[in-house]
Amino acid sequence: MRLSQLQAWFLAVILVAFLVFMVVDTINKGFNGSGPLISNTTAGLSYRVPTKYQSVETVAAENKIGLVVKLLRTDPISQISIRIDSNMMLEAGITQTKLGDYLDQNVSELYRQYPSYKQLSVGPTKLLGQPATEFVFTYQGMDKTTRMKMDVIGLVLKGKPYFFEFQAPEVEYAKRLVDWKNFQRNLVAL
């Protein structure tokens, strides 16, 4: 009888240890298959990198256009990025108080340079509890054969225009949309 009580206690300890491990692992993955919380002081945000995405170092040309976060998935390919366009206010000759109105009216114009650009939708949304403008469009990929689909959310945060971007091949877009939605849910302004 003593041996069976010892065995029961041993099994209970193993079960509790397993449950603790599962809870800690779930917290570290962000309850949605994402990685640990990352604080990015340049972007002024914290976020979780979705499963199968890797944070990629931005290059000088990307830094010039304000790219501060670049997350890439390679199979199938998709990308999540964050840009802060500090020069927009100077170039457009607008003040901080008018910036939100400017984004609402012009956000789709900012991306029209993409090859074979076709706007699918534009409208109001919220991100980080702030009013924002979301638009979705397609364009011809750099390989000249793949049709890409991109979702951009523009908003004013800390007095600057932020652009949260998600893109994937159009045929894979619906499958990868869950990564984009989870990324948005885990965003926190620092």
- CATH architecture, domain defined by 34-189: 3-Layer(aba) Sandwich (3.40)
Q: Which residues pair with 127 in a beta bridge?
A: 130
Check: CB of residue 60 under 8 Å from CB of residue 154. Answer: no
- Residue 97: predicted pLDDT: 54
The CA distance from 181 to 31, in Å, is 13
How far apart are alpha carbons 37 and 112 in whole angstroms?
A: 34
Residue 9 confidence (pLDDT)? 62
- Write the secondary structure of 89-102 as one string of H (helix), E (strand) and C (coil): HHHHCCCHHHHHHH
Q: What pLDDT is stored for residue 159 in this prediction?
A: 79
> DSSP assignment of 11-60, as one string?
HHHHHHHHHHHHHHHHHHHTTTTEEEEEEETTTTEEEEEETTEEE-PPPH
- Which whole-number Å values give the CA distances from 187 to 5, 12, 92, 98, 181, in the listed order? 48, 38, 28, 25, 10
In the chain, where are the structural domains located?
1-31, 34-189
pLDDT per position in the chain (190 positions), as tens?
A: 466 776 666 666 666 555 545 544 544 444 455 688 899 998 999 999 998 999 998 877 677 778 899 999 998 899 999 999 877 655 656 555 566 677 666 666 777 788 898 989 888 899 999 888 888 999 998 898 999 999 999 888 887 889 999 999 999 999 999 999 999 999 999 9
